[in-house]
Amino acid sequence: MVKNILILIFFFTLFGAGAQEHAWVYFKDKVGVDEAMANPETILSARALARKNKFNIPIDERDVPVNESYIAQVKGQAGIAVKAKSKWFNCVHVIGSINDIASLSSLDFVDRIFYANRSLNSKAGKSPKYKSKPDNHKNKFLTQKANFIYGQSEAQISQLKVEALHQSNYTGEGLWIAVMDGGFPNVDQLAAFSRLRSNNDLLGGYDFVGRTTNIYAPDGNSHGTRVLSDMGGYVENQLVGTAPDASYMLFRTEDGVTETPVEESYWVEAAERADSLGIDLINTSLGYSTFDNPNYSYTPAEMDGNTAFISQGANIATAKGMLVVNSAGNSGSSSWGVVTAPADANVYTVGAVDMDGTYVSFSSRGPNAQGVVKPDGMAMGRNAAVVDENNTIVRNNGTSFSSPIMAGAIASFWGALPDKTNLEIMQLVRESSSMYQNPNAQMGYGIPNFDLAMTLNGVEGQNGGEDEGEQTLDYILFPNPMETNVQIRLPQGSTTAILRLYDIYGKRILEKQITETDNQISVEQLSQAMYIVQLEMEGISKEYKLIKK
The set of catalytic residues is 181, 223, 400
Give the whole-angstrom CA distance, residue 505 versus residue 434: 5
Task: Name 387's bridge partners.
Answer: 393
Rounded to the nearest 5°, which phi and psi values hold at 299? -115, 160
Bridge-based pairing of strands 91-97 and 81-86 is: antiparallel
Helix (H, G, I), strand (E, B) or coil at 124: helix
Give the separation between CA 451 and CA 457, rounded to whole angstroms.
10
The length of the chain is 549
CB 276 within 8 A of CB 234: no
What does the alpha-carbon distance between residue 487 and residue 118 come to, in Å, rounded to a whole number?
61
Q: Determine if the peptide bond prior to 342 is cis (ω within 30°).
A: yes
H or E stretch at 396: strand 393-396
Peptide bond into 479 cis (omega under 30): yes
The radius of gyration computed from the CA coordinates of the chain, to the nearest angstrom, equals 26
- How remote is the C-alpha of 548 from its chain's centroid? 31
Distances (CA, A) of 543 to 221, 449, 498, 509, 525: 46, 15, 12, 15, 22
